[in-house]
A and B are shown apart, each in its own frame.
Chain A
Amino acid sequence: MNQELKNSPIEPSEPLLKIENLKKYFPIKGGGYFKGNKKVVKAVDGVSFEIYRGETLGLVGESGCGKSTLGRNILRLQEPTEGRVFFKENDILAYRSHEMRKLRRQMQIIYQDPFSSLNPRFTVGEIIGEMFDIHGVAKGAEKEKKVKEMIELVGLDPSRYHSYPHEFSGGQRQRVGIARALALNPEFVVADEPVSALDVSVQSQVINLLMKLKEELGLTMLFIAHGLNVVRHISDRVGVMYLGRIVELSETDNIFDYPAHPYTAALLSTVPEADPRLKKERIVLKGEVPSPANPPSGCHFRTRCPLATERCANERPELAEVRDNHFAACHYPLEKGQTLKEAITSLEQSRQPVTQ
């Protein structure tokens, strides 16, 4: 067992971050003051996983599935409704606000929108320098020197120290955002769709920068994205979210080559192939994502799942190990190498014999 673990590409030696049964419910407005039955949107609905030291965990899902909310709740930028978050084995949800502020230099976030995430009235030097000011790390000339080092590290010209964000392009602004997040050398970074707002040509530059910095600084990263190819490129492991729950979690290659959850399989079939001769079976899911205010009973995916049975409506599938290091929350996970199409046929066949 030990031998096996050592050979695996990621070393599950110790989890840097451990999330247990995290829930975030948003109350829906309306219904009047005196009505007791308040409705909630279950943005994150009972999520548990671990992030190991030094790994990049990719988190994918459609917009609205709760992946950004999850990232914000882990950093306590929003207060979770329920659950626990352990950072280095300390329950950070129990931290008081001044303890939390101190901890924040160890855990940072990179934002999606390079425009609204930078203070328009601060120069680049001030934006990055704030990190040093807030935590009292460096002052004056020493601070300026360190900030310039950071600017250089993310591939910008240090002479732009006194420039304002509006003088930069989107990709350059995103680099400023990265410099801010990494200024105090944090151990853990949430990258919340850091490239979705950028041009495709710039995306790869920023991705490569992130990978380089991750290597140099030994970062642990939660990489949230909706583009599968981006996630494949950067992640050691990938988690797939659907309507507030993690439906599948495994090493990147496992997920992409042998998806176990029907949703992941359907999601993967939408990725365009570079080779036009490779014909792929595209699985089009019926219907729309149900409202998170009123999710289906049992398995959240069952209303759109081609494999759903009555059991899926009654029983919520838990995230369980279906193969080695491969977790899926499904009553009828796909076998290794099985395509969704094959699974559908075999399901139909298994139903047929009874009538024949």
Chain B
Amino acid sequence: MEVSTKPILTEDLDVKPSQGKTSVLKALRNNKVAYGSFWFLVVIHAVVFLGPLFWTTDPDTLQDAGSLASWSLQHPFGTDDLSRDVFARMLHGGRVTLIVGLAAMLFSLLIGTVVGACAGFFGKVVESILMRITEAMMAIPTFFFILVALTVLGTSPAMVILVIALAGWMEIARVVYGETLKWKEYEFVEAANASGATPFRILTKYIIPQIVPSIIVSGTLTIAAAILTESAISYLGLGIQAPTATWGNMLQNSQQYIWTAPVLGVLPGVAITIVVLAYNFLGDGLRDALDPKFVKK
């Protein structure tokens, strides 16, 4: 009987820990779309974060070219309705959007990992309380929650990040919870307990490192969702407020000029779409690359 309660997990354990990030990239190389997405994202992030060092035009200053000017050498994407340089706004707006996405993802990961790992590891009352909270959060319509929370808490960048994170940690918690349940059954975890390790040590040194691949995958998919959410709430006017540019509020701003200056809407729209798509492709690719049991259809 004690034999059957222990899962037979031997083949799983032949993880080669010496394989670092390089081998993950190598595994990713077989999946062309995901590999392409990875490099595309590297380029986008480099352009958005380093670009303003070279393109020094201020995104909030009114330009001499006038409003809704067409493209020129001085203003490659023209100017917007208030005669600000669209290229500079795309760069700075991208910065804000991507930082909000990354920060919200990190915060979601933190909450999700702590909740999931504690629920899975401690079980009993802790598990009941934490997982019921998680399920309750999942039952609340995300968008409704975000709109109400932002209306109450205000729309400063920190609040936007916090609220997006609070709306997006549940999936991660469930993934980490499931993985923790699986890993805590391994004998090496019991052996750590038999050695006198504290629960904190067992969680941080024995269980969570095994879950890191799953966390990376969830994190990648969470960034995509966070960027999309930030754009959506900006579009509704509850996101980060003007004059600070984000891709979302640039999109909102462009509505009334959709026939006169379509480029104002197309640029941020396309940017959001391809970045979110690329993150999704990368996430899917990573899941395949990190999970050998995942059979491609």
Contact = CB atoms under 8 A, between A and B. Distances in A.
Contacts of A130: 192, 195, 197
Interface stretch (B11-19, B62-70, B129-137, B280-288): B11-19
B193 interface: yes
A111 B17 contact: no
A323 interface: no
Interface stretch (A85-93, A101-109, A277-285, A332-340): A101-109
A134 B14 CA distance: 26
Nearest to B207: A119
B94 to A, nearest CB: 37
Interface in A56-75: 63-64, 66, 68-69, 75
B3 interface: yes
Interface in B185-238: 186-188, 190-198, 201, 206, 209-210
Interface string A306-326: 000000000000000000000
B282 to A, nearest CB: 24
Contacts of B56: none
Nearest to B17: A121
Given A111-B191, A130-B192, A41 B1 contact: yes
Contacts of A116: 6, 9-10, 13, 186-188
B15 A120 contact: yes
A117 B18 CA distance: 19
A63 B3 contact: yes
- Chain B interface size, under 10 / 10 to 19 / 20 to 34 / 35 or more: 20 to 34
B197 A120 contact: no
A68 B6 CA distance: 12
B206 A115 contact: no
Given A63-B3, A77-B190, A113-B10, A121 B195 contact: no
Interface in A159-173: 164-166
A68 B1 CA distance: 9
B188 A134 contact: no
Interface size class of A (residues with CB under 8 A): 35 or more
Interface in A111-134: 111-113, 115-122, 130-131, 134
B194 A119 contact: no
Nearest to B188: A119
A194 interface: no
Contacts of B10: 113, 115-116
Contacts of B209: 121
A221 to B, nearest CB: 15
A220 to B, nearest CB: 16
Nearest to B3: A63
Contact of B194 (A102, A109, A115, A120): A109
A148 interface: no
A292 interface: yes
Contacts of B17: 120-122, 164
B190 A43 contact: no
A341 interface: no
Contacts of B201: 134
A209 to B, nearest CB: 19
**When A and B form their complex, which 6 residue pairs have the shortest distance between CB atoms, in order from nearest?**
A104-B196, A117-B187, A101-B196, A64-B1, A68-B2, A121-B17
Interface of B: 1-3, 6, 9-10, 13-18, 186-188, 190-198, 201, 206, 209-210
